[in-house]
């Protein structure tokens, strides 16, 4: 942490009801982003935060926002919101809303959350008298605005959370539409895990003379995460996963699958061996996703199979292992994925399965994180064929893998496989 930054919550001088709520959370000291951002946000500065989930960024913005709302002492009017937090996913919206409820539990403020995929009536009802803090996903927000159930003309604070993921998910037009509805004078906060030029440009169009805070840049993976890779032929990935999960020490595991279909298949396969897992992905209903998450949080199931988008923003402590069943073809997703473990100072383990076609992705990831990931060979499915595989470009690898996924869906007859090198696959014997 930089010198002269507050080292305790007491030094932040937050109003008493917030201090009391904080004391009940069990947090002992501010995280680096909290120590840096809270004093500046209390002054009303616009903020550009380069931080990912897991850094404590929600409290970093929720606490000063709540503090200022109370001091400003404005009344909310029907259908209006004083603060808008836009998030890319429903899960993140729910979590951010919960955080406001926790930190703001001793305040007489109203918090609401709206997202798609569920009926709008309870959301409309929650908004009818106006709210202080509205957490929303862009699509449902615009829907309700168009129907006249929400108005943003009295907004005091605008927070754009996970801006990079918003753009990845195609929300750029929705964001621009929402921006046009906001009053010119407002307090702006902008968070993104990565800052490619397109995000910088969006930030510039929203923020006025912002302070910039960067914590754990995306290219650095947490020191506390032990990262490993296992070379395995594609057809052996499922047995390898079963083999790993048989060890009960893996008590809370997220397995990442590239596709929704793949996630379901993994659940079915593990069920045959009485390893109970649940999948969360975009084809599951909102209630099924919530239920799976709750079961996982409560420890009723120890394995959650997730796709990248569904897992985004999931806030679950004590995840012991992250398993990349498929390696992501965007290196930054790797950093997001493994960031699910080793939260708030705990340690965690990330294991990545890599088949021959995925080797280019592994190379890209190692380039991004600036180190090579140790290979574990001591498992029964270690593949020399993967070790020897000739490296092709990652875009070519992606095309091949996408083609194969299409095939599995039965939509293509082009069954050309990645031309592997000529060495015959060696049968590796189980090692201890
Ligand atoms: P976030 O980055 O906002 O998703 O927060 C990640 C996790 O850190 C959540 O589980 C928070 O409850 C937790 N957290 C936030 N602030 C602190 C803190 N100062 N000390 C310990 N844990 C914290």
> What is the number of structural domains in the chain?
2
Q: How confident is the model at residue 324 (pLDDT cuts 50, 70, 90)?
A: very high
pLDDT in tens, 78-115: 999 999 999 999 989 999 999 999 999 999 999 999 99
Instruction: Please tell me the distance between residue 56's alpha carbon and the centre of ligand 1 in angstroms.
Output: 4
pLDDT in tens, 260-284: 899 999 999 999 999 999 998 877 7
- Whether the CB-CB separation of 79 and 151 falls below 8 Å is answered with yes
Output Rg (C-alpha) for the chain, integer angstroms: 23
Q: What is the mean pLDDT of the chain?
A: 86
Select from 183, 214, 245 the last residue of a domain: 214
Please check whether residue 94 lies inside any domain of the structure.
Answer: yes
Q: How confident is the model at residue 340 (pLDDT cuts 50, 70, 90)?
A: confident
| 172, 261: one domain | no
Tell me what the mean pLDDT of segment 5-26 comes to: 93
Nearest ligand 1 atom to alpha carbon 31: 19
Name the helix (H) or strand (E) containing 211: strand 211-214
Using DSSP's 3-state secondary structure scheme, residue 313 falls into coil
Task: Give the residue with greater pLDDT, 85 vs 28.
Answer: 85
Pocket of ligand 1 (CB under 6 A): 27, 30-31, 34, 53-59, 315, 317, 343-344
**CATH code, domain carrying 329:** 3.40.50.300
- Minimum CA distance residue for ligand 1 atom 16: 56
Select from 157, 183, 214 the last residue of a domain: 214
Nearest ligand 1 atom to alpha carbon 316: 10
- Could you tell me the two tokens for 4? 């002269």
Instruction: Please tell me the distance between residue 323's alpha carbon and the centre of ligand 1 in angstroms.
Output: 22
Please check whether residue 129 lies inside any domain of the structure.
Answer: yes
Phi, psi of 300 (to 5 degrees): -75, -30
Instruction: Please tell me the distance between residue 55's alpha carbon and the centre of ligand 1 in angstroms.
Output: 6
Please check whether residue 412 lies inside any domain of the structure.
Answer: no
| 93, 198: one domain | yes
**Long-range contacts: 147-153, Cβ < 8 Å, 24+?**
148/79, 149/79, 149/120, 149/123, 149/124, 150/79, 150/80, 150/81, 150/114, 151/79, 151/80, 151/81, 152/80, 152/81, 152/84, 152/178, 152/181, 152/182, 152/183, 153/80, 153/181, 153/183
Task: Give the residue with greater pLDDT, 410 vs 193.
Answer: 193
**Sheet containing strand 253-256, strands side by side:** 225-231, 348-354, 321-324, 253-256, 303-306, 277-280
Please check whether residue 271 lies inside any domain of the structure.
Answer: yes
Please check whether residue 414 lies inside any domain of the structure.
Answer: no
| 269, 293: one domain | yes
pTM reported for the whole predicted model: 0.60
- Minimum CA distance residue for ligand 1 atom 14: 56
| 182, 239: one domain | no
| 197, 108: one domain | yes
Instruction: Please tell me the distance between residue 344's alpha carbon and the centre of ligand 1 in angstroms.
Output: 6
Please check whether residue 431 lies inside any domain of the structure.
Answer: no
Structural domain of 169: 9-214
Instruction: Please tell me the distance between residue 249's alpha carbon and the centre of ligand 1 in angstroms.
Output: 25
Nearest ligand 1 atom to alpha carbon 9: 19
């Amino acid at each position: 942490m930089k010198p002269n930054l507050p080292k305790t919550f007491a030094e932040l001088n937050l109003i008493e009801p917030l201090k009391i709520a904080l004391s009940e959370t069990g947090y002992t000291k501010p995280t680096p982003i909290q120590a840096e951002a809270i004093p500046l946000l209390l002054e009303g500065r616009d903020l550009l935060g380069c931080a990912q989930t897991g850094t404590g960024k929600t409290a970093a913005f929720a606490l000063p926002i709540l503090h200022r709302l109370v001091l400003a002492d404005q009344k909310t009017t029907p259908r209006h919101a004083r603060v808008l937090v836009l998030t890319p996913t429903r899960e993140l919206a729910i979590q951010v809303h919960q955080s406001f409820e926790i930190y703001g539990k001793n305040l007489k403020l109203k918090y609401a959350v709206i997202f798609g995929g569920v009926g709008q009536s309870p959301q409309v009802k929650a908004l009818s008298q106006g709210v202080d803090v509205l957490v929303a996903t862009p699509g449902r927000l615009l829907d309700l605005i168009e129907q006249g159930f929400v108005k943003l003309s009295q907004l005091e604070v605008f927070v754009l959370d996970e801006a990079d993921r918003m753009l990845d998910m195609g929300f750029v037009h929705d964001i621009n539409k929402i921006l046009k509805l906001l009053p010119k004078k407002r307090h702006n906060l902008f968070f993104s895990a990565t800052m490619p030029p397109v995000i910088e440009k969006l930030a510039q169009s929203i923020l006025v003379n912002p302070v910039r805070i960067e914590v754990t840049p995306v290219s650095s993976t947490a020191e506390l995460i032990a990262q490993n890779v296992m070379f395995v032929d594609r057809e052996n990935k499922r047995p390898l996963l079963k083999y790993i999960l048989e060890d009960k020490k893996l008590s809370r595991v997220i397995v990442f699958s590239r596709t929704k279909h793949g996630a379901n298949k993994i659940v079915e396969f593990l069920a045959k061996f009485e390893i109970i897992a649940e999948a969360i992905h975009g084809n599951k209903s909102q209630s099924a996703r919530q239920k799976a998450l709750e079961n996982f949080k409560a420890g009723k199931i120890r394995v959650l199979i997730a796709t990248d988008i569904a897992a985004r923003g999931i806030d679950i402590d004590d995840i012991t292992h992250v398993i990349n069943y498929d390696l992501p073809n965007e290196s930054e997703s790797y950093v997001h994925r493994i960031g699910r473990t080793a939260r708030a100072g705990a340690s965690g383990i990330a294991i990545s399965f890599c088949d021959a076609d995925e080797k280019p992705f592994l190379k890209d990831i190692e380039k991004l994180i600036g180190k090579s990931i140790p290979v574990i060979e001591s498992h029964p499915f270690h593949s020399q064929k993967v070790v020897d595989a000739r490296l092709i470009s990652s875009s070519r690898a992606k095309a091949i893998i996408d083609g194969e996924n299409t095939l599995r869906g039965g939509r293509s007859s082009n069954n050309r496989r990645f031309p592997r090198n000529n060495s015959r696959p060696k049968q590796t014997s189980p090692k201890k």
